[in-house]
């Protein structure tokens, strides 16, 4: 599942599809965000929007 998130300053809680690690990522990522455990890319920057390549558990205001 790939979801495009609009540019936002929100933090998004995601779960790594590979190792199930949960971590917080920034919705407006400018660099690829990797899982801290297995280094799988969880989100990629696409011109201001973060392409989330992992399961979104929660969006924090």
Cβ proximity to Zn ion, 40 vs 49, nearer residue? 40
Q: Kindly calculate the radius of gyration of the chain based on its CA atoms and give it in whole angstroms.
A: 10
Cβ proximity to Zn ion, 35 vs 50, nearer residue? 35
Nearest distance in Å: CB 54, Zn ion: 8
For residues 36 and 46, give the distance between their C-alpha atoms in angstroms, rounded to a whole number: 21
Which residues make up the interface to Zn ion (CB under 5 A)? Answer: 16, 18-19, 21, 35, 37-38, 40
Cβ proximity to Zn ion, 5 vs 35, nearer residue? 35
Q: Which of 16, 47, 13 is nearest to 30 (CA)?
A: 47
């Amino acid at each position: 599942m790939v979801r495009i998130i609009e540019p936002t300053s929100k933090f998004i809680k995601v779960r790594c599809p590979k190792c199930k690690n949960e971590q917080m990522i920034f919705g407006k990522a400018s660099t690829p965000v990797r899982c801290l455990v297995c280094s799988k890319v969880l989100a990629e920057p696409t011109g201001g929007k973060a392409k989330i390549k992992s399961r979104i558990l929660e969006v924090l205001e």
